[in-house]
Structure 1
Amino acid sequence: MNDGEHELLAAARAGDGFAFEQLTKQHRRELYAHCYRMLGSIQDAEDALQESLLGAWRGLAGFEGRSSLRTWLYRVATHACLRLAGHRPRRVLSPDHGPASPDPHDLGEPVTAPIWLEPWPDEGVDGGVDDGLRLDDGADPAEAYLRRETVELAFVAALQHLPGTQRAVLILRDVLGFSAAEAAGILDTTPASVNSAMQRARATVAERVPARSQQAELAALGAEGEAVLVRDFVAAWERADVPALLTLLANDARFTMPPLPAWFAGREAVGQFLAERVFATPWRLIPITANGQPALACYQYDGQRFPLSAVNVLSLRDGQVSWIAAFLDQGLRRHFDVPTEISSPRR
C-alpha cells in the first residue's frame, strides 16, 4: 500500500465512511464480477457484494496488512459468496432444467424461483455498487481478453456445476491469478487441498465449455465480420424474415428463454418457434454487449410503443449463431443501460 492508502486505511479504521469508500472503490467492479462468477446471477452478486462491503467495513480492524487489501477483500467476498450459495439453489441453463420442447405453442409456466443463470452487463451496473467502469477498464489487451472470456455465459454456467469450494479455487487460481498458497489463505485450507480441488474443477469445466471461447470466435470473425453478422441479424429479426435468420444460425442452434422453461434445439425448431410465436408482433432491437458477447436489447410492440421485453445474448461458432439466450426476467432491466421503451417504430 502507498502512503495515501495507508492514510485512508487509518481514517477508515477510525470510522470515516468516505475514506472506506475511497479505499475500496477501485476494487468494487472486479469484486462484483467475482461474485457473479461465483453465483451465476447479477442480482445475487449484488447481494453478495453489499454483504462483502459491509463485512469489510465491520472487520477492517482485523485487517493486519499481512496480505494486500485486494487479497483481503477477495477473502471477505469469497466467503460471502460461499455462505450465500449454501442457502440458494444453483443457477442453471434451460437444458439443465429439462429437455427441449417439441411444441412452439406450449412454453410452460414461468419458473420464478431463483434458479436461472443471468446475464452480465458489460457496461456499468446499477444498484449503488459500481462507478460506471467496464470490467476491463485500465487492463492491457491480454488481460482484458481474459476477463471477458471468464464472464462468458458458457464458462459461468460451467462454474455452477462445481461444488462451492472447487468453484472458488478455480476462479481464484485460473481467473484471478492467485497462487495456491494465497488461495489456501483466502479459503482457510492448505495448498495441497487447493491443488487437488483445482484438478477436479478444471476437468469438470473442460467437459462443459466449447472447444473455443467466444473471445476466440469473435477474434476469428473480426470486428467487421461481427458487425455485419449483428447488423444482418437485427435487420432480419425486425423484418420477421425467418429464412434470412435461419441462414445466420448453426444447424444445431438453440433458443432458450428463462424464466419460461421451454427451449428449442435445432435450426428447424428454432425457425418454427420464431415464425409461429415470436414474430406474431413487431420488434425493434438495439445492439449491446453482455458477458463479453454480442447481445441485443429487444423491444416488443404492445400496440402503442415498444417496451423492453428481453435481453438476448448471442453465442457464435464458426461465424454463425449457435445459441440465442433470451432473458425475459423483468428484474434484470435495471442492470442494463438501455431505454426502457421505444416510443415509435424505426423507419
Structure 2
Amino acid sequence: MTPDDDVAAARAGDEAAFTRLAQRHRRELAAHCYRMLGSPHDAEDALQETLLAAWRGLPGFEGRSSLRTWLYRVATSVCLRQARRRPRLLSPDAGPPRSDVTDLGEPVPGPVWLEPLPEDLADDRTDDLDPATAYLRRESVELAYVAALQHLPATQRAVLLLREVLGYSAAETAALLGTTPASVNSALQRARGGLAERLPARSQQAELARLGGAGRAALVERFVAAWESADVDALLGLLTDDVRFTMPPLPAWFAGRHDVGRFLAQRVFATPWRLRPATVNASAGLLCEQHADGAWRPGSVIVLGLREGRVGWIAGFVDPALHALFVTGSAGDR
C-alpha cells in the first residue's frame, strides 16, 4: 500500500495502516520531541501522547497539509504543554564549580536535568537528506545545542526548531503554531539571540570534521586508555586548560585541569573502570562500567565536548537508568 492508501485506511479506522504511518515518522518525531524537552524519556512520553492524539484526530485530518506536517503540529503542541507543566531543566553546571572533591552533594531528583540521546534514537531521516541539511540535523541534537535550547521559552524553542532545523517557512510555522508570521519572525529573532549567547564558537560537527575520522578515533582511544589505566597525567594531557567535568544528577562539578585532576585521582579512579566508545548526541561518547563488589556495574554515560583537538567538557551522566537506556535503546524502559 502507498502512504496515501494508508492515510485513507487509517482514517477509516484501520489500526495496522496507522501503525505503518507512525513507523515512517516515529524517529524524526522523537528527535523533535527530544530537542524540545531535553530528555529521551520525556520525548518518548511526548511521542506516545502525539501518536495517541493523532490516531484519535485522524478522521478530522483534511489533507490541507502533508501528514508529516500535521504530525509535527500535534507533536509540537504536546511538547509545548509538557514544557509548560514542568520546571525548566537545570544546567549541568548550575551554581559555581567546586574544589572540595569529598562533597559532591546529594543527587537532585526528578526530571530536571538535560539528558543525553543515544544514536539509535536520533532522527534517521538524515540519510535521506542533502549533506548540508543532514549536517544541520546532527548539530541540532548536540548536547550544547539542546542545553542552550532549554534556556529559551518553550514557544521560542518551537519556532526556532520548526524554522531552522525542520525548514518550515514563517507562514507554515505560523499555521503550525496557530499564530501569525509576524509573531513567528519576532520569536525567531529573540530565539537566535538567546541561543548565540550560549553556544560555543564551533559545533561538535565542525570539531569532528576538523579532526577527521582517524583523528577522532585516535583521541577517543587515548582517552579510554588513560581512563582505564587511571593515568591522570595522560588524561590531563588531553584536556583543555579550562575543562569542565559535570555529572548530573549530582550538583557538584569541577572546572580547570587542577581541580578536575584532583577529582579524577581522589574519587573517580578509586575503583577500576572499563569504557566503550559510542556515539552520543551525534558526538563522541563513552559508555562506562565501574567495578564494584566483585562485578562490573553501570557507571555513567559520558559525552566528550571537543575543542581544537582536546576535550573541553566531560559531561558525565551517572543515573544508572540512562546507562540502561543506551544498552537497550528503549526510552520506555525507564
TM-score (norm 1): 0.92
Q: How far apart are 1:6 and its partner, in Å?
A: 2.1
Which residue pairs with 2:223 in the alignment?
233
User: What is the one-letter code of the residue matched to 1:65?
Assistant: G
Aligned partners of 1:309, 1:229: CA distance in 2, in Å? 21
Number of equivalences = 329
Which residue pairs with 1:302 in the alignment?
292
Show CA shifts across 1:11-34 (max 9, x none): 111211110011121111010000
User: What is the one-letter code of the residue matched to 2:98?
Assistant: S
User: What is the one-letter code of the residue matched to 1:154?
Assistant: A
Q: How far apart are 1:113 and its partner, in Å?
A: 2.0
Q: How far apart are 1:218 and its partner, in Å?
A: 0.6
Give SS of 2:128's match.
coil
Q: Does 1:113 align with 2:110?
A: yes
Q: How far apart are 1:281 and its partner, in Å?
A: 0.2
Q: How far apart are 1:308 and its partner, in Å?
A: 1.7
Aligned partners of 1:119, 1:92: CA distance in 2, in Å? 14
Q: How far apart are 1:5 and its partner, in Å?
A: 1.9
Aligned partners of 1:338, 1:42: CA distance in 2, in Å? 13
Is the CA contact (8 Å cut-off) linking 1:89 and 1:115 kept in structure 2? yes
Show CA shifts across 1:70-127 (max 9, x none): 10000000000000111111122222x21111201100001012110000111248xx
1:96-135 paired onto structure 2 within 5 Å: 97-124=94-121, 134=124
Q: Does 1:14 align with 2:12?
A: yes
Give SS of 1:300's match.
strand
Which residue pairs with 1:5 in the alignment?
3
Q: 1:274 aligns with which of 241, 254, 264?
A: 264
Q: Does 1:246 align with 2:236?
A: yes
Structure 2 unmatched runs, 5+ = 330-334
Is the CA contact (8 Å cut-off) linking 1:283 and 1:301 kept in structure 2? yes
Q: 2:213 aligns with which of 218, 223, 232?
A: 223
TM-score (norm 2): 0.96
Is the CA contact (8 Å cut-off) linking 1:284 and 1:299 kept in structure 2? yes
| Large movers: runs of 4+ above 6 Å | none
Give SS of 1:20's match.
helix
Give SS of 1:109's match.
coil
Is the CA contact (8 Å cut-off) linking 1:101 and 1:262 kept in structure 2? yes
Which residue pairs with 1:192 in the alignment?
182
Aligned partners of 1:312, 1:291: CA distance in 2, in Å? 10
Aligned partners of 1:63, 1:94: CA distance in 2, in Å? 41
Which residue pairs with 1:144 in the alignment?
134
Is the CA contact (8 Å cut-off) linking 2:39 and 2:114 kept in structure 1? yes
Is the CA contact (8 Å cut-off) linking 2:275 and 2:286 kept in structure 1? yes
Aligned partners of 1:34, 1:101: CA distance in 2, in Å? 34
Aligned partners of 1:89, 1:170: CA distance in 2, in Å? 20
1:1-347 paired onto structure 2 within 5 Å: 4-95=2-93, 97-124=94-121, 134=124, 136-337=126-327
Is the CA contact (8 Å cut-off) linking 2:239 and 2:257 kept in structure 1? yes
Aligned partners of 2:138, 2:213: CA distance in 1, in Å? 16
Is the CA contact (8 Å cut-off) linking 2:246 and 2:315 kept in structure 1? yes
Decide whether aligned partners of structure 1 residues 135 and 252 sit closer, same or farther in structure 2, where only a CA change above 3 A counts.
Answer: farther
Structure 1 unmatched runs, 5+ = 126-132, 340-347
Which residue pairs with 1:128 in the alignment?
none
Q: How far apart are 1:247 and its partner, in Å?
A: 0.3
Aligned partners of 1:113, 1:99: CA distance in 2, in Å? 21
Aligned partners of 2:75, 2:157: CA distance in 1, in Å? 14
Aligned partners of 1:271, 1:215: CA distance in 2, in Å? 27
Q: How far apart are 1:332 and its partner, in Å?
A: 1.6
Q: How far apart are 1:142 and its partner, in Å?
A: 2.5
Which residue pairs with 1:344 in the alignment?
none
Aligned partners of 1:331, 1:46: CA distance in 2, in Å? 14
Aligned partners of 1:323, 1:338: CA distance in 2, in Å? 26
Aligned partners of 2:38, 2:75: CA distance in 1, in Å? 15
Which residue pairs with 1:129 in the alignment?
none
Give SS of 2:13's match.
coil
Question: What RMSD in Å do the two structures reach over aligned CA positions?
Answer: 1.5
User: What is the one-letter code of the residue matched to 2:7?
Assistant: L
Give SS of 1:112's match.
coil
